[in-house]
Every structure is written in structure tokens, then in C-alpha cells.
Amino acid sequence: MPTTVLTYIVRRLIGAVILLFIVSAVVFSIFFLIPRAAGASADDLASRYVGKSAGVEQIHQTAVKLGFTDPIYVQYGRFAKGIVVGQDYNYGPAVEHCPAPCLGYSFITQNPVLPDLLDRLPVTLSLAAGAAVLWLVGGVSIGVISALKRGSALDRASMSVALAGVSLPIFFTGLLTLSIFSYGLGWTAPGGANPMDATSPLDWAYRMILPWITLAFLFAAAYARLTRAGMLETMNEDYIRTARAKGLRERDVVVKHGLRAALTPILTIFGLDLGLLLGGAILTETTFSLPGLGQYAVQAINNNDLPKVLGVTLLGAVFIIMANLIVDLLYAVVDPRVRTK
């Protein structure tokens, strides 16, 4: 790889790390400052982590143990240090060493956060990857056909369906599809079917096919519209006329010349969407009861479990930042005019 590209990547990676620390500081501050702005003291916050009938003494001890009595920069410093060198937590009979990068320790469930995240990541990955393939292939194909047959009944129909896909919320379409296809017809797996429990790749696909399709429906719609618009633009370009003038088959003109150019912005958006989704497809996972990062985030927020929220937010930020970087690099690969730096 040429050195300029390498230095570019290294620079971006360093920037990414800095950005991640900033993100973590911001999230940390939000969780720190907002209850205090509402007038809560350290003990008030600690009282969340104790049982129903805990006494004042116990609450205060908990506040000290969890570090709530320390100023914000000390608390954040502890967290940041944990990421770099790890931290130790007392779970009763012994002390557990949470190795670097230690993304925090949940005091509510008494376990380190990172193993949870890694455990749930494959579910989110399964969901995101499968849906992504479906919506990319489906959305782009429909967009191309709509563009080529602009104004036809097919075009109008597919754009209307696309509008529905973008407008209907997934917690509605999800429950609906579950009712019809899983419980009514028995064709697909019921809610809560963990893809990681699958016994074979076919079983894995069986469990995921309904969430894939439902999620893909949402995105495919947007991608169909984008592709259609992109294709309409590219097919009017001069180089399309040149390609035809060379005697190329129309199919090659559309795909190799038209679609190739129209896909560039779509690929960049795809990268960003995928990055966002990997941080946790919250609505889909909740609707289909999939134990992924999104569901984890929702539960953590509901339980006011700051370390978990921080952890999942950071992981999501990692994916988004990486996606941005890859998309930028990919753009240079795809469009040679961008490369001259």
C-alpha cells in the first residue's frame, strides 16, 4: 500500500481514538450532570444501586464504594484508566481483574461490561449483515428497474411501496409480520429466536429471515428511491451515450456504466447505515426480542445502568467511526477522481 494512504489511515485512526474519548467523556458527563442538575446528591444516586430497605449507612457506603462522592474528573479518570490498563472489582469472595480495555463494570448486575458486549455482538451482526444484503440487493434492483421504466405502473407501484416502507415504524410492521408469518402461518421463527442458538446455517437463516426482511423493508425503500434518483441522473450522462455508441449491449450500458456510477453515493450511505446498525438495531431487536446490542442498550437505559450505557455507546461509536473511515477509503477506491491526494 502506498505510504500516503498508510499515513492517511494512521492519522484517521488516531483521530478516531481521540474522538472516542471525547464521546465517552460526553456520555459520562450527561449521566453525571443531569441527575445532579435535578438536585440529587451522591447518596441519592447510590440509593439506586441498593435494595428496597437499605439504610442510610448502607446507602452512603455504596456511594463511596461506587465513587459517587468523587468529583467528575476523578470518576471519569478512573473509567478512562480502566480502558487503558484495566481495573479490579470485588465480587465478594475475591477480586476480579477486568483486563484492558475495561469498558466499565455494572454495579447493578455485578459484572464487567465488555464480555456482555462481545457476547451480544454476533446477534446484532447477524441481523445487520443479513438485512444489509437483502436491502442492498433488493433496494438497488428495484431502484434500477424503476429508473429504467420511469413513469410506468411498475415504477409508480414500487415507489409507493417504498414510501410505505419508509413510513411504517418497525415496531408495528414487526409485530404484524410475527403475527401473520410466525404465529398464523408458522412459516418463520417466533420472537426471541436467538440466532446464536442455531444448530446449522439453515437454522440460523430460518431464525433471522423475518427480522431480516422486516428491517430490510425499511431500508430497501430508501435505497430504491436513492438508486432510482441516482440512475435517472447517471443515465443522462454523456458517457452513457458513448457506451452505446461503442455498440455495448444495453444491459452492460445500464450496469457497467450507469449503475457503477450511480452506486457510489449509495455505497457511502450504505457504509454509514451499516455502521449505525452495528451499534445496535434498537427497534428491531426489541420488537423481535433479539438479544443484541440494541436490546442491551435499551435495558441498560431503563435500569439507569451507566457503565452499560457507556459501554454500548462507545462500541456503537467505534463502529460508526470505523464505518466513516472505511467509507472514505472506499470512495477513493471507487471514484478515481478523488484519489489525487
Partner 1 sequence: MMQKRMMTVAAGAVLALGLSACSGGTTSTTPTAAGGTADAANAAVTKVLRPSTTKGGTLRFGMPGDWDSVDPGDTYYGLSWNFLRNYARTLTVFKSTAGAPVVVPDLAEALGVPSDNATTWTYKLRDGLKFEDGSPITSADVKYGVARQLDKDTFPNGPTYFNDFLKDVPKGYSVYKDKNLADLKSIETPDAKTIIFHLKSSFAGFDFFAQLPATAPVPVAKDTGAKYKEHVVSSGPYMFDTVSLGKKYTLKRNPNYDPKTDPESGRLALPDNISVELGLNAPDVDNRLIAGDLDVDINGSGVQAATQGKILADATLKTKTDNANSARTWFSVLNTDVPPLNNVDCRKAVLLAYDKTGYQRAYGGAIGGDIATSLMPPMVPGYKSFDLYEAKTKPTGDVTAAKAELAKCGQPNGFATNISYRAERPKEKATAESLQQSLAKIGVTLTIKPYPTGDYFKLYAGKPDFAKTNKLGIMVYGWGADWPDGFGFLSQIVDSRVIRPAGNTNLGIKIPAVDAQIDKALATTDITARNAIWGNIDQMVNENASVVLGVWTKGLFYRPDNLTNVFINPAFGQYDYAAIGTSKK
Partner 2 sequence: MSTNAAPPDRIPQDRPKADAFLHVKDLRVHFPTDDGVVKSVDGLSFSLERGQTLGIVGESGSGKSVTSLSIMGLHAEGTAEISGQVVLDGDSLVGASAEHVRQLRGKKMAMIFQDPLSAMHPYYTVGHQIIEAYRVHNNVSKQVARKHAIEMLDRVGIPQPTSRVDDYPHQFSGGMRQRAMIAMALSCDPELLIADEPTTALDVTVQAQILDLIRDLQQEFNSAVIIITHDLGVVAELADDILVMYAGRVVEYASAHEIFTAPQHPYTWGLLGSMPRLDRERAERLMPIKGTPPSLINVPSGCPFHPRCSYAHLTGGASETERPELVEITPRHNLACHLSTQDRQRIWEHDIKPKL
Chain residues in the site for partner 2 (CB under 8 A): 237-239, 241-250, 257, 260-261, 264, 334-337
Give the range of 1-9, 26-34, 159-167, 174-182 binding partner 1 by CB under 8 A: 174-182
The smaller minimum CB distance to partner 2, of residues 160 and 236, is found at 236
Query: End-to-end alpha-carbon separation of the chain, Å?
Result: 14
Cβ closer to partner 1: 69 or 182? Answer: 182
CB of 269 to partner 2, least distance (A): 18
Strands 87-90 and 95-98: antiparallel
Closer of 95 and 245 to partner 2 (Cβ): 245
In terms of residues, how long is the chain? 341
Within 266-295, which residues bind partner 1 (CB under 8 A)?
286-289, 291, 295
Peptide bond into 101 cis (omega under 30): yes
Counting residues that bind partner 1 (by CB under 8 A) gives: 52
Give yes or no for residue 50 binding partner 1 (CB under 8 A).
yes
Pick between residue 186 and residue 247 the one whose CB is nearest to partner 2: 247
Map 82-133 to HEC letters.
Answer: HHHHCEEEECCCCEEEECCCCCCEECCCCEEHHHHHHHHHHHHHHHHHHHHH
State the Cα–Cα distance between residues 106 and 308, nearest whole angstrom: 6
**Exactly one of 30, 40, 100, 209 binds partner 1 (CB under 8 A); which one?**
40
| Alpha-helical segments (H) within 149-278 | 153-167, 170-177, 201-234, 238-245, 250-252, 260-278
Residue 139 cell numbers, joined: 433496494
Pick from 9, 30, 54, 154: which binds partner 1 (CB under 8 A)? Answer: 54
- 37 forms part of the interface with partner 1 (CB under 8 A): no
> In this complex, which beta carbon is closest to partner 2, that of residue 111 or of residue 264?
264
CB 30 within 8 A of CB 43: no
Q: Does 245 bind partner 1 (CB under 8 A)?
A: no
Measured from the CB atom, the residue of 337 and 341 that comes closer to partner 2 is: 337
Beta bridge mates, 111: 106
User: Please, which residue, 95 or 153, has the CB nearer to partner 1?
Assistant: 95
Q: Residue 155: CB partners within 8 Å, gap ≥ 6?
A: 145, 146, 147, 149, 228
Cα separation, 64 vs 56, in Å, equals 12
Contact with partner 1 (CB under 8 A) among 1, 37, 38, 245: 38
Sign of CA dihedral 198, 203, 205, 208: negative
CB distance 117 to 296 below 8 Å = yes
Tell me how far, at minimum, the Cβ of 286 lies from partner 2, in Å.
41
Residue 146 or 188: which CB sits closer to partner 1?
188
Could you say which of 51, 201, 247, 336 contacts partner 1 (CB under 8 A)?
A: 51
Residue 33: C-alpha distances to residues 4, 19, 67, 266, 333 (Å): 43, 21, 15, 39, 44
- Per-residue mark of binding to partner 1, 178-197 (x: CB under 8 A): xx--xxx-x---xxx-x---
State the Cα–Cα distance between residues 196 and 284, nearest whole angstrom. Answer: 17
DSSP codes joined into one string, 20-54: HHHHHHHHHHHHHHHHHHTT--HHHHHGGGS-TT-
Nearest approach in angstroms of CB 47 to partner 1 is 5
- Minimum gap (Å) between residue 243 Cβ and partner 2: 7
Out of partner 2, partner 1, none, which partner does residue 105 contact, by CB within 5 to 8 A per kind?
Answer: none
Name the minimum Å distance from CB 265 to partner 1.
35
Q: Which residues bind partner 1 (CB under 8 A)?
A: 35, 38-40, 43-44, 47-56, 58-59, 61-62, 65, 90-94, 107, 109-111, 116, 175, 178-179, 182-184, 186, 190-192, 194, 286-289, 291, 295-296, 299, 302, 304
